[in-house]
Structure 1
């Protein structure tokens, strides 16, 4: 099982943790308050503004103050008269460099590179074919989309480090490093189509990645996942009675409507010169059916429409899906294997035969028990995960450049507990 040994050893490690292992400090979760993010962002903006201002000054000296060009593909020149420290800040506000701090989680900074570093290869390709402003919008959108998950992972890692002893953290690190070597690297080799770690490194380098960066990402992700799996303590098994109760409470979800498999011979008026002319062909078909000729053979020879090539056969058809009520009623009432009377519609003569039918009912409990129980386990895990994250959010100091989703917890720019 994937990373199974990681989970087992980590579970054993946590089993050794008691209240006495929690660091004895005034505030073991938060520690010292982090520096205000707004101050850090202000410094970043001023730095960007200074760089942008110097760049614009150099551009003005080289290009001069020109009139707007009639060429729609030419970038307008920004002149000295239109630049200032304030406008430079606005112009560079959307520029997110890899070193830009986008969040502080319990005193630990999250940089742009932490959030979107995994997209380096795709971003480099996008940068080559996108205008600079669109490229920056793309980076910003990726950061906003993925920031929540990185904040939550950092919360879990902080809690883990505050809860476990150093020797337990060292043990977990060792186990995860082994898992990376024995499982993750072979996965990368298979995914990249190579045969050795050296070839993996070369391929990753082409994409702006490395085995080191993959290792660091793996360790962070798996540490958070394993810690959450144990800390959440979600139900991992439900009794038959519990699953059956869920099945009965949602019985409508397992309803199965009646359906029928059938064949049809259809003689259209238009194709045979009108209704009167079609009657002659219909009589011929009826005589052959009465003589015992096979329905499918006659459908292939006489029926109109694409289904003729398939001996007039139709797959499972649910009640209520046919346009002709009389024909549908016959399909759901005729004995299986029996041929119907002739139905006269506004455009054709039709004869149908019922090949098989399943009455309305419900999917048996035995057929869905396993899948239903797994969905209940997943629900329990999601609920426990949400509760743990809410608890961690409530006692954390989190400041972000972007607002997290409203349902994350109200303390996005939080105070302590």
Structure 2
């Protein structure tokens, strides 16, 4: 995949310039940003509002919906109802101020983030919502989306800023060239398949119907891939664990790999009600017992005589664990009878029952060999996420961030 080639290219870039970061600025903002835009931000707002009117410049900052399974920044779908519980409080009166597309939500190291940068990706869905929602509720939805996604966009902007200050101009140009090719050769075919288009022209038409465009998709792709590729290089983590390390993790979490005893079985059930009472049901039971003693097949007899819910399947039940059956005597038989042996007759409140164990697995643990590869991958993923978080924390510590909204710190997320 060209994405992997881009990753190797990024490694080469970093190796030529090292991993030095930009010098710390005076009075960096540590932790959450102030709840309102500071005076410096207000002074820049008019200038940046004019910038916001140029859609290409605005949308080049937008984060898109490009799907990568290892994307550490993906966010769930939000609704107005859920936002009241999960979003942090705004310092602005939500019922008064309308969030316009050109509103500056935050400044990240001098770069503005507009409302359109945060929720532009939802344009099509928001237009539909605006038609069916009261104006007040629609504005709440826009605000909830901005609040929810703000921190992710700040994180991405920090990565892009770090990349631009780490790589040389010619290296950034080369990366741009490789991402252009990756978009043309891989992303466009993916988009065509997703929307059912047979050509880039048809793709453009279908995207336009959704309020999107090929230009827009490319900007999203470039932004997303730049951040992801740079993070993959910047957040160095351990990608190889020895067998001993993986085995130690397995042993320390052995309970996670435990499984209970379970059995597969058959049943012949003769209900009293179906045969006109318990006394008459005894006659049918005697007939079944004699045929079992004569060696007739249990499943065949179950299909003929049983009135249980699985009679048509020869009375067979799937894997059953302890605590699954209402009748404790029948359940005990499933874990005590030798496999292949028919039980005694069990007399319940409404029926006679005979069971036979087809197969049984005793309680135990999934063997280490069966989970070694999966466990090692989870360890790699954990290390990668830890390195990602540490890298972002370092970028936040040296950044100057001014924001209209508060956003959760990592400690607050854990608490919530």
TM bracket (short chain): 0.7 to 0.9
Matched, 1:359 2:359: no
Aligned mate of 1:263, from 258, 262, 266? 266
- Residue pair 2:270, 2:308 contacting (<8 A) in 1 also: no
How far off is 1:29 after superposition? Answer: 12
Aligned partners of 2:393 and 2:24: how far apart in 1?
A: 22
- The residue number in structure 1 matching 2:208 is 205
Aligned mate of 1:129, from 118, 132, 154? 132
Aligned partners of 1:364 and 1:276: how far apart in 2?
A: 51
Aligned mate of 1:241, from 201, 222, 244? 244
- Residue pair 1:29, 1:396 contacting (<8 A) in 2 also: no
Aligned partners of 1:408 and 1:229: how far apart in 2?
A: 24
- Residue pair 2:345, 2:352 contacting (<8 A) in 1 also: yes
Aligned partners of 2:347 and 2:282: how far apart in 1?
A: 11
Matched, 1:402 2:405: yes
Question: Which string of whole-angstrom CA distances, capped at 9 and with x for unpartnered residues, describes residues 140-174 of structure 1?
Answer: 11111111110100011111111111111111111
- Residue pair 1:393, 1:409 contacting (<8 A) in 2 also: no
Aligned mate of 1:112, from 101, 115, 118? 115
- The residue number in structure 1 matching 2:37 is 37
- The residue number in structure 1 matching 2:3 is 3
Aligned partners of 1:408 and 1:387: how far apart in 2?
A: 14
Question: Which string of whole-angstrom CA distances, capped at 9 and with x for unpartnered residues, describes residues 178-213 of structure 1?
Answer: 111111111111111112212222222222221111
Aligned partners of 2:252 and 2:94: how far apart in 1?
A: 57
- Residue pair 2:240, 2:380 contacting (<8 A) in 1 also: yes
Aligned partners of 1:314 and 1:349: how far apart in 2?
A: 17
- The residue number in structure 2 matching 1:84 is none
Unaligned runs of 5+ in 2: 29-35, 47-91
Question: Which string of whole-angstrom CA distances, capped at 9 and with x for unpartnered residues, describes residues 375-402 of structure 1?
Answer: 1111001101111111111111112222
Aligned partners of 2:102 and 2:332: how far apart in 1?
A: 70
Against the structure 1 CA distance between its residues 271 and 94, is the aligned structure 2 distance closer, same or farther, given a 3 Å change threshold? Answer: farther
How far off is 1:345 after superposition? Answer: 1.4
Against the structure 1 CA distance between its residues 302 and 29, is the aligned structure 2 distance closer, same or farther, given a 3 Å change threshold? Answer: farther
Aligned partners of 1:22 and 1:343: how far apart in 2?
A: 76
- Residue pair 2:109, 2:400 contacting (<8 A) in 1 also: yes
Against the structure 1 CA distance between its residues 133 and 43, is the aligned structure 2 distance closer, same or farther, given a 3 Å change threshold? Answer: farther
- SS of the equivalent of 1:3 reads helix
Compare CA radii of gyration and give the structure with the larger one.
1
Question: Which string of whole-angstrom CA distances, capped at 9 and with x for unpartnered residues, describes residues 53-75 of structure 1?
Answer: xxxxxxxxxxxxxxxxxxxxxxx
Which structure would you say has the larger RCO, counting Cα contacts within 8 Å and 6 or more residues apart? Answer: 2
| Number of residue pairs the alignment of both structures matches | 360
- Residue pair 2:285, 2:352 contacting (<8 A) in 1 also: yes
- The residue number in structure 2 matching 1:277 is 280
- The residue number in structure 2 matching 1:294 is 297
- Residue pair 1:41, 1:101 contacting (<8 A) in 2 also: no
Aligned partners of 1:147 and 1:198: how far apart in 2?
A: 34
How far off is 1:334 after superposition? Answer: 1.3
- SS of the equivalent of 1:266 reads strand
Against the structure 1 CA distance between its residues 227 and 268, is the aligned structure 2 distance closer, same or farther, given a 3 Å change threshold? Answer: same
1:18-29 alignment, distance < 5 Å:
18=18, 27=25
Matched, 1:336 2:336: no
1:73-152 alignment, distance < 5 Å:
93-152=96-155
C-alpha RMSD over aligned residues:
2.4
Against the structure 1 CA distance between its residues 26 and 296, is the aligned structure 2 distance closer, same or farther, given a 3 Å change threshold? Answer: closer
How far off is 1:273 after superposition? Answer: 2.1
Question: Which string of whole-angstrom CA distances, capped at 9 and with x for unpartnered residues, describes residues 211-232 of structure 1?
Answer: 1111111111111111110111
Aligned partners of 2:161 and 2:45: how far apart in 1?
A: 26
- SS of the equivalent of 2:354 reads strand
Question: Which string of whole-angstrom CA distances, capped at 9 and with x for unpartnered residues, describes residues 353-380 of structure 1?
Answer: 0111111111111111111111111100
Against the structure 1 CA distance between its residues 22 and 234, is the aligned structure 2 distance closer, same or farther, given a 3 Å change threshold? Answer: closer
Aligned mate of 1:326, from 329, 336, 352? 329
